[in-house]
Structure 1
Amino acid sequence: MSFEIRLAASSDAPAACNVLRRSIAECCVLDHQNDPAILQAWLGNKTPEMVASWFASPTNFSIVAVEEGHVVGVALLTGAGKLALCYLLPEARRKGLGKALLSRVEEQACSWGVKALQLHSTATGEDFFARQGYLRSGNVRSPYGVETVFFWKQLDGSVCDVPEGKRKRFCGCSAT
């Protein structure tokens, strides 16, 4: 099992868009219940052009997981400390890629001086984030009609105070 976590490039936008769309449509059925109106609203801004604009924003930190030369995961952290995206292709789940993406996002947040991360999880992702130390803090209805779980995590010594050269690497991720 070999994969790389690296900064997202604008050329990754079409593949990252595919990750988002497939993950939502195929993995989040528990959330959208195959309701066409919810899916249309949720997927409405998941276009290659929009994803490229998110990657290009200087206030975002965007990364991709690459396996065998193909983008199989994407994560995006805002400068305000919100994990806005963390998605994998259905066939890329349960291989450590999500954990590796999340670890790299947390490292970046620490380097920015962010003390806590927040996110809105689908029901599908709820157990994953809880296992990674995120705390549930209520439910929030998304603009596209899905009930999400608000999570947050204090970034303390377990993440932020470890010297760069001493941090565990699960995947050979690059430090940039």
Structure 2
Amino acid sequence: MSLEIRIAASGDAEAACNVLRRSIAECCVLDHKNDPAILGAWLGNKTPQMVASWFQSPTNHSLVALQDDAVVGVALLTGAGKLALCYLLPEARGLGLGKALLARMEEIACGWGVKALQLHSTATGESFFARHGYTPAGKVRSPYGVDTTFFWKQLGGGDAPADGDDAKPRKRFCNCNSA
């Protein structure tokens, strides 16, 4: 089995969208409680076209995780230092890909000079982020009706990304509306 993390391309949008939709629907039941209204609102902007626009935005840095050349995970970091997406297909959990995506995003953020990475976690993801050094700092209700926990992690800052890619934030805002 080959595992890889790489920069997301527009051509990955459909597969990445599938990752988001399946992960939310199948792994986040604790959060949406199979409520059709909440699930519909949460998945509403998870279309291939929208995901492609997030990947193309100069304010975002997006990664995909591959298993045997198939997209099984996706992560998105905004120029403001927010981890807006970090999702895996249900069958890809437990392989170390989530940890690898998170570590790579932390490297990118450090390279940008971000001092602290922030995110809004579902209840499903809380233990994952806590295990990786993130500190909970209160509850926030998402626009789609799910209670999330605001997490943050102090970063080292200043180092260039490990593989030398030229990902740099250009603006300090996010257009993804997808925590």
What TM-score does the superposition give when structure 1 sets the normalisation length?
A: 0.90
What is the DSSP-based 3-state SS (H/G/I as helix, E as strand, rest coil) of the residue aligned with 1:119?
Answer: strand
Superposed displacement of residue 2, structure 1: 2.6
Which residue in 2 is equivalent to 1:66? 66
What is the DSSP-based 3-state SS (H/G/I as helix, E as strand, rest coil) of the residue aligned with 1:109?
Answer: helix
- The gaps in structure 1 that reach 5 residues or longer are 166-173
What is the DSSP-based 3-state SS (H/G/I as helix, E as strand, rest coil) of the residue aligned with 1:39?
Answer: helix
Superposed displacement of residue 126, structure 1: 0.2
Which residue in 1 is equivalent to 2:170? none
Which residue in 2 is equivalent to 1:101? 101
2:128 is equivalent to residue 128 of structure 1: yes
- The gaps in structure 2 that reach 5 residues or longer are 166-179
- Structure 1 residues 134 and 70, CA gap change in structure 2 (3 angstroms): same
What is the DSSP-based 3-state SS (H/G/I as helix, E as strand, rest coil) of the residue aligned with 1:38?
Answer: helix
CA RMSD, Structure 1 to Structure 2 (Å): 1.4
Aligned mates of 1:50, 1:164 — CA distance in 2 = 27
2:21 is equivalent to residue 10 of structure 1: no
Superposed displacement of residue 161, structure 1: 6.7
Does structure 1 conserve the Cα–Cα contact (< 8 Å) formed by 2:111 and 2:161?
A: no
- Structure 1 residues 164 and 104, CA gap change in structure 2 (3 angstroms): closer
Q: Which runs of 4+ in 1 moved over 6 A?
A: 161-165
Aligned mates of 1:123, 1:146 — CA distance in 2 = 9
What is the DSSP-based 3-state SS (H/G/I as helix, E as strand, rest coil) of the residue aligned with 1:13?
Answer: helix
What TM-score does the superposition give when structure 2 sets the normalisation length?
A: 0.89
Aligned mates of 2:20, 2:160 — CA distance in 1 = 33
- Identity, % of aligned pairs? 76
> 1:102-131: per-residue Cα shift (whole Å, max 9, x none)?
000000001111110000000000000000
Which residue in 2 is equivalent to 1:155? 155
Equivalent residue pairs, number: 165
Aligned mates of 1:163, 1:39 — CA distance in 2 = 38
> Partner amino acid for 1:63?
L
What is the DSSP-based 3-state SS (H/G/I as helix, E as strand, rest coil) of the residue aligned with 1:17?
Answer: helix
Superposed displacement of residue 162, structure 1: 6.9
Does structure 1 conserve the Cα–Cα contact (< 8 Å) formed by 2:107 and 2:160?
A: no
